[in-house]
Amino acid sequence: MCVCARAPALARPIGWLSAEFPTELLWVGLIFTVNTGVALHVVMSQVIWLVTCSMGTRFITLFVAADLFLIWFVYYFFPESVVSSGTEDV
């Protein structure tokens, strides 16, 4: 519940930095955050490219399986998202 309450503050690029770094060092934290994000994106893009090339058509099968699993997960664990028929009593 605490994470849900802090989510809007964490969505801003500087939201969590103000809690972790003193005001005088805020720019250091911002530079660290941006550079870490860029580095991780570069690494992940290379890994995804290699996986896509090595798996071929199995890559599409993997995503279809993941989609089917997520549809099942949402259907069974989030029942309020299932479309109702409108015949139940309110």
Report the percentage of the chain scoring pLDDT > 90. 21
At residue 50, the pLDDT reads 86
Query: Which helix (H) or strand (E) is 76 found in, with range?
Result: helix 57-77
Structural domain count, the chain: 1
- Give the mean pLDDT of the chain: 74
**Does residue 59 fall inside a structural domain?**
yes
Question: Is it the case that residue 12 has pLDDT exceeding 90?
Answer: no
pLDDT, position 89: 55
Domain that holds residue 75: 34-79
Question: CA 19 to CA 6: how far, in whole Å?
Answer: 12
HSE toward the beta carbon, residue 89, CA cutoff 13 A: 0
Taking alpha carbons only, the member of 58, 60, 84, 82 closest to residue 71 is 82
In a domain, 72, yes or no: yes
User: For residue range 27-70, what is the model confidence (pLDDT) as tens digits?
Assistant: 777 888 889 999 999 999 998 888 888 877 887 888 899 999 99
Q: What is the pLDDT of residues 13-34, one digit of tens each?
A: 555 555 665 677 777 778 888 8
In the numeric block, which tokens belong to residue 8?
């809007």
Say if 58 falls within a structural domain: yes
Spatial distance between the Cα atoms of 66 and 69, rounded to a whole number of angstroms? 5
0.95 surpassed by pTM: no
